[in-house]
Amino acid sequence: MYSSLTGTCPAPPERDRWESLPAGRQEGARCERSFLCSHSVRHCVPGKPIRHTQGREFRRARDRTAPPCLPHPNGVGGELQMEKTALEGIKVVDFSWAFAGPFIGAYLGDYGAQVIKVESHSRLDITRVTAPYKDGITGVNRSGCFLVVNNSKYGITLNLRHRRASEIIGKLIAWADVVVENFGAGVMERLGLGYEELRRIKPEMIMLSATIQGQTGPRSTFAGYGWNTVALTGIGNLTGWPDRSPVGTLQAYPDSVVPWFGVVAVLSALEYRRRTGRGQYIDVSQYETTCQFLAPLLLDYAAHHRVAMRAGNRCPYAAPHGVYRCRGEDRWCAISVFTETEWEAFCRVLGSPAWARDERFASLHGKKENEDELDRFVEQWTVNFTPEEVMSLMQQAGVPAGVVKTNKELFEDPQLTDQGFFHRVEHPEIGPCYQQAWPIKLSISPLNIRPAPCLGEHNEYVYTQVLGLSDQEFVEYLDQGVFE
């Protein structure tokens, strides 16, 4: 498959590409035809011997030509898969727990990276012991919260505090391209797993630490959860009604934001390492990444000392813009009208009522000035219809509108269903269940979602097949409690 294995660069089109680049971008452009070739494109000619065909690079090359991913011990994945996954050959060791960290490995794993999640019996991942459980029966392999965030990983248990754990860790680190963790700042160092230690084993290691407030600074030791970051970032205060207490969000919103930036960081670092051979240590904070989303409001304060506040469902540049009661028990539809064209269409859907021609609603400014009344008029109309009817009538006329969907309704949503968002998988203990896909669909790279692992499910496989312990060694470690 790869002629690079014979030791020559297979990259005839690369020179053309280089010549088509603007002058400023030629320097530093690297050969992309072969993952082996680290030549500058300028020097990239077919048949030229490749520099790094020995040692680690060669082994990586050999791994790349092996089956697309590790054959899965349950017989799913690997050997059955025909298409090439985008991230195959990327090896991740995942020490993270709870929500924010594990999403990173799940995202990478679903697109083909080999992700080994390291857990221990003595300090269970909080999501393994969080309701809801399948059939209401508690059990470390039965929590929906664990399943939702750990898809497509290999699960091993390892007692990091055992005196012989370092022998295993050494092998794991030597195997890995990327290490992800989200313990409190300083915990990895205390476990002997700080970045400097990892680099001694693997100089080009990429390590990512995700925390609430970062690895440095006076609050780096803050021991909190994602819902605390809802508060810190201002999202808590920005959610609710202006005349009442803030309500914040049910979900720990920044627990979502930090892993997405984490995936961006890991993939960029891998890309950088491919070109330069250099790894890096990445310190990503929930607080800071979520601030990226709030940048316009932060600039508004910086420029004008104006403090944005919760506004129910209102929006400074649209009206009507709200969630309106519809027919049925606690049923609602969101409608947002941004442009004049949408306003005209909106009025037509309502049958061009007299109030809509009122001078006070003629401009956006007027609508905003009289928004309470405007909202009352809108709701007088929406209560006569189900939210589905409102959405359909509005959307057909080109007005943004959408049902306020419950968690139950999401599983039946025709759009999500059509896109295959909910993947049916077979979990070894709880049987058939769903793992969610991602908000992206790639036209070529397949998504290969496997169920989240049971606790220690892949111990034997990973320790013997991946890390190369003999059966005798495996049993020895097992007996000594290293895999507790």
Partner 1 sequence: MLSPYRALDLTDEKGLLCGKILADLGADVIQVEKPEGNPARSIPPFFEDIAGPERSLLWFAFSTGKRSITLNWESEAGKDLFKRLAKTADFIIESFPPGYLERKGLGYEVLTKTNPRLILASITPFGQTGPFKDYKAGDLVASAMGGMVCCTGEPDRAPVRISADLAYCQAGVHAAIGLLIALSHRTATGQGQRVDVSMQASIVRTLHTQLPYWEYGNRIVKRSGIRRFRGGVSTREIWPCKDGFVSWMFFGGAVGTQQMRGMVEWMEGKGMAGSLSAEVQNWATLDLTKVDPEKIKSWEKVIGDFFLSHTKEELYQEALEKRIPLAPLNDMSEVVNDEQLAARDFWVGVDHAELKTNLRYPGFLFLTSEENCLPKVRRRAPFVGEHNSEIYLDDLGLSEAELNSLRRESIV
- State which of positions 383-442 bind partner 1 (CB under 8 A): 391, 395, 398-411, 413-416, 418-419, 421, 433-434, 436-442
Start-to-end CA span in the chain (Å)? 41
Tokens of 395: 């959307």
381 binds partner 1, rule: CB under 8 A: no
Closest approach, Cβ 362 to partner 1, in A, equals: 18
Residues 470, 477: contact at Cβ < 8 Å?
A: no
Q: Site for partner 1 (CB under 8 A): which residue of 47, 56, 65, 241? A: 241
Q: Are 73 and 458 in contact (CB under 8 A)?
A: yes
Which amino acid, one-letter code, is at 99? F
Nearer to partner 1, 47 or 217 (CB): 217
- CA dist., res. 368 & res. 382, Å (int): 20
Considering the rule CB under 8 A, would residue 256 count as an interface residue with partner 1? yes
CB 86 within 8 A of CB 112: yes
Q: Which of 160, 168, 172, 335 binds partner 1 (CB under 8 A)?
A: 335
> Closer to partner 1 at the Cβ: 126 or 201?
126
Query: Which parts of 58-117 interact with partner 1 (CB under 8 A)?
Result: 64, 84, 86-88, 90, 99, 107, 111
Largest CA distance in the chain: 86
CA pair distance 459, 172, nearest whole angstrom: 12
- Answer yes or no whether residue 370 interacts with partner 1 by CB under 8 A: no
Task: Classify residue 443 by its DSSP letter.
Answer: S
CB of 149 to partner 1, least distance (A): 7
Q: Write the Ramachandran bin of 136: left for phi over 0, alpha for psi from -120 to 50, otherwise beta.
A: left
The per-residue b/e assignment along 227-236, b for 16 or more CB within 10 angstroms, e otherwise, is bbbbebbbbb
One of 187, 238, 425, 478 touching partner 1 (CB under 8 A): 238
| Residues in the chain, overall count | 484
Q: Which of 271, 340, 426, 471 binds partner 1 (CB under 8 A)?
A: 271
Asked if residues 413 and 405 have their Cβ atoms less than 8 Å apart, the reply is: yes
Strands 91-94, 114-119: parallel, antiparallel or unpaired by DSSP?
A: parallel
Contact (CB, 8 A) for 419 and 433: no
Choose between 223 and 354: whose C-beta lies nearer to partner 1: 223
As a whole number of angstroms, the distance between CA 69 and CA 72 comes to 8
Our finding on whether 377 is near partner 1 (CB under 8 A) is no
- Check residue 352 for interaction with partner 1 (CB under 8 A): no
- Any idea which residues carry the catalytic annotation? 255
Q: Decide if residue 204 touches partner 1 (CB under 8 A).
A: no
**For residues 300 and 473, which CB has a smaller minimum distance to partner 1 in the complex?**
300
Binding residue (CB under 8 A) for partner 1 from 7, 32, 46, 60 = 32
Q: Helices 286-293 & 295-304, crossing angle to 10 degrees?
A: 80
Q: Toward partner 1, which CB reaches closer, 201 or 297?
A: 297
Give the interface segment with partner 1, choosing from 311-319, 366-374, 452-460, 465-473 (CB under 8 A).
Answer: 311-319
Token readout for 372 is: 């309470």
46 binds partner 1 (CB under 8 A): no
Nearest to 452 by CA among 441, 436, 476, 475: 436
472 touching partner 1, by CB under 8 A: no
Q: Which of 201, 231, 383, 425 binds partner 1 (CB under 8 A)?
A: 231
Please calculate the CA angle 192-100-323 and round it to the nearest 5 degrees: 170
Please list the residues that pair with 333 across neighbouring strands: 324, 403
Structure tokens at 212: 């609430």
> Shortest approach of partner 1 to residue 107 CB, angstroms?
7
Of 248, 451, 453, 456, which one interacts with partner 1 (CB under 8 A)? 248
Site for partner 1 in 174-203 (CB under 8 A): 195
The answer to whether residue 8 forms part of the interface with partner 1 (CB under 8 A) is no
Q: How many residues bind partner 1 (CB under 8 A)?
A: 177
When asked if residue 297 is in the footprint of partner 1 (CB under 8 A), the reply is yes
The residue range among 162-170, 175-183, 314-322, 467-475 that interacts with partner 1, by the rule CB under 8 A, is 314-322
